[in-house]
Amino acid sequence: MLKRKIYRELVAWKESDDHKALVIKGARQVGKTFIVREFAKDNYEHHVELNFLTDPILMRLFDGDLSVNGIIERMSLILHDDAISPGCLIFLDEIQECPKARKTLKLFAEDGRYDVIATGSMLGVSDSRLGIYKKGEPSTIGVGYERTITMYALDFEEFLWARGVSDEMIDDLRSKIKGCIPLDDVTYEMMMRHFRAFMISGGMPEVVRNIVAGENDKAIAAMDTILANTLGDINKYNDGVDVIKTRRCFESIPSQLRDTNKKFTFSRMVDKDNERLDNSTKQKYYDNTEWLGAAGYGNFCYLLTEPVLPLKANEIVDQYRIYLFDTGMLTHIYGPSARVATFTDDYRYNQGAVAENVVAECLMKSGIQPRCYRKTNGKNRMELDFVIELGLDLCVIEVKSGKDREFPSLRKASEVFRIDRRILLEKGNIHVDEDGVEHYPLFAAAFIREMIRGRDGFDENGLPVEGI
C-alpha cells in the first residue's frame, strides 16, 4: 500500500464532532477510492460503498423519500445489507454522477448518526458545465454541511516513501532546507536522482506502484490508460463543440510549454482545415481552458499586472500559463527521448518545460497558488517564472534546468519592486549568494513550506499569535 498524507486528514475528520460530510475532490485515478477503502477497513466495523459510475442503478436509491431513514431502508434492500446501522461509514463514490445524492449530504450531516464520505473526479466542474446535467439546475452543495478537501497524485515526499526512503532521511532533508544548510554530496546526488525519477514517472499511484516494482512496461501502459481516460472525461463532460475545443486546449499544453512565451495562446488552436483562428473565435476557447482547471487536468498560473501584494488583486484573469496536472504525464506525451534526457540530465535537450511544470505541480500540492510576471518592453523588462506568497513574504522564484547560470530578472526584481525573498531553483546545492538570492536544488520545491519564515507576533496566516 502506498502511504498517503491524506490518510491523516481522514482520521482527523473522523475524530471531529461536527458530523459534516467529507467530500474529496480530485482528478481521476489519483487514489481517492483506494484510500477511502483502506481508511474504512482500518477504522470502521462496517461500511457500505456505492459507486454511481460503475453501477448507475444505485442512483434509484435517491428517488422518492429523501429522509435519512428512507434512504437507509432502500440501501439495505438493494444492497442486501442488514448491518447498515448508526456509526457505520457510507461511501458515495463518483458522486458527481448523482446530483440527488449530493443534496442528501446535508441531511446526513444534520442527522449525525452516520459518517459519510463522498468522492468525485469532476466535482470541480460546475453543474451547469457538465453535459449530463441540466443547465440552471439548483446547486447541490450543502453549504456549511460539507468539508471539502482536494486530493492530488503523490507528491515528492510520498514518492520517496514509495521508494523506501526513511522518514529520518526526509526529516534531515527538510531541516537542511528550512535552515538553508548545504547538503552533503551523497544526499544531494541521491535526492536529485529520486527527483529525476519523479519527473518521468509522475505521481499517479498505479504508475508509481509499477515503477517501484520494476514493471516499466506496465507503468507505460498505465500512463496510456490515464491519458485515454482524461480524453474520455473531456468527451463525456462537455457538450457538442466544447468537446473538440476542450480537447484541442488540453492537447496543446505540452507544445505551448515549450514556447519561450509560455503564456497560453488561444491562436495556437487550429480548425479542421489547419487554419489559425481569428481573434473573435479564439476567445471562445477561454471557457474550455477553465474546464481543464476545474477538472483538475491543468494547473493555472495567472499573469500579474505587477508583482505586488495582494497578488490576487493583481491577476490578469484572461492571461495565464497552464501546466499539466502530472509531470510524468508531460514527459510521457513528449516521448521516450524526453524521459531519457530528464533522467540522465542531458543538457542538449530543452528541459525547461519539464522543470517548470514539476515546480508548478509541487507548489499546487503544497497549497500554494503560483502566479507569474512578464514585461517584454521598456527598461525594466523581466520574466519571473513564479510569484508566490510564502507565508507573509512576497517571494519570486526562477527555475533553471540547464547550464545557464545567469538570472538577471531575479536580480532586478528587488530593484524595481518590494520583494521580500528571491529563490533560484536549480541543479545545485543550497546556499545564499552575495546578492541575497537563495539557491536550492529543484527538489526543494516539494518542501517549499519549510522555507516559510515567521514574523514576530503573527502566524503564517497573518493572524496575531496572541489572538485578535
- Domains of the chain plus CATH, in order, are 6-150 (3.40.50.300), 157-451 (no CATH)
* Spatial distance between the Cα atoms of 256 and 274, rounded to a whole number of angstroms: 17
Instruction: Read off the pLDDT band of 138 (50, 70, 90).
Output: very low
Least confident of 65-69, 71-75, 194-198, 283-287: 283-287
Give me the pLDDT at residue 239, please: 77
**Mean of the pLDDT values across residues 71-80?**
93
Cell of 2: 502506498
Instruction: Read off the pLDDT band of 130 (50, 70, 90).
Output: very low
Give me the pLDDT at residue 271, please: 56
3-class DSSP assignment, residue 54: coil
**What helix, strand, coil percent values describe the chain, rounded to 5?**
45, 15, 35
pLDDT in tens, 22-66: 999 999 999 999 999 999 999 999 999 999 999 999 999 998 888
Q: What mean pLDDT is reported for the chain?
A: 90
The fraction of the chain above a pLDDT of 90, given in percent, is 72
Q: Is the peptide bond before 310 cis (omega within 30 degrees of 0)?
A: yes
The fraction of the chain above a pLDDT of 70, given in percent, is 92
pLDDT at 401 over 90: no
b vs e for 425-454, b when ≥16 Cβ sit within 10 Å of the residue's Cβ? bbbbbbeeeeeebbbbbbbbbbbbbebbee
pLDDT at 165 over 60: yes
pLDDT at 126 over 60: no
**Mean of the pLDDT values across residues 345-373?**
91
**Mean of the pLDDT values across residues 230-253?**
89
Give me the pLDDT at residue 68, please: 95
* Spatial distance between the Cα atoms of 273 and 141, rounded to a whole number of angstroms: 43
**Mean of the pLDDT values across residues 148-174?**
97
Least confident of 87-91, 259-263, 276-280: 276-280
pLDDT at 258 over 90: no
pLDDT at 459 over 50: yes
pLDDT at 134 over 50: no
